[in-house]
Amino acid sequence: QLPFFAIKIKLEEWNQALSILERMGLQAAAVTSPLKSVAFQSCFQTTDRAKELGALNTLVRNQGKWFGDNTDWEGFQHILKNHEILKCASVVVWGGGGTLQMIKSLLPNSQTFSSRSIQLPMEHFEILIWAGNPLSDLPPLSWSPSCIVDLNYREDSRAREYAQLVSAKYISGEGLFKRQASVQQEFWNKFRSGG
């Protein structure tokens, strides 16, 4: 029940932008990459999960101080459990950036590759986690995963194209987004209600 706006902030603008937004009355924020680590550094206090990951996606202001959480973890875990991906042995992560540590905390045996990698193995993977930019280059077709989990939920994500090319099941990141947003609201509401 608060007005909300999308505000683009460059990494090098973070400190100045946050100060200006505080003066304008910012009470809570959903933080996206590449700002998750620098937002973490701006907090007076964070949850243990945010500390473990060194990044957050949720900020709330209480008594002039910022408190933070990382709700991406709950969203990702939700998708993995609902689709029984935690049981799969052969998982590859394509991209990752600011979400890589969160992914590795839930899938420690997964192999990770930058979407800009030049040397890539020619092997088969059962599951591919698309954690790169929605417009990233495609992984090798020879990987031929049976399932693609897209951490994005945009219609134009190239993960959809890759899933079609290798005839794989496609799982949108929409479930992750909805679950993490629900946990995010719980965190905000806890502070708004004085909890």
- Residues with catalytic roles: 36
Task: Count CA atoms within 13 Å of residue 7 on its CB side.
Answer: 18
Outline where the chain has alpha helix (H).
14-23, 36-41, 48-53, 72-82, 100-106, 158-165, 174-192
Task: Count CA atoms within 13 Å of residue 183 on its CB side.
Answer: 21
Q: How many CB atoms lie within 10 A of CB 16?
A: 10
Phi, psi of 21 (to 5 degrees): -65, -35
Measured distance CA(95)–CA(129) in Å, rounded:
8
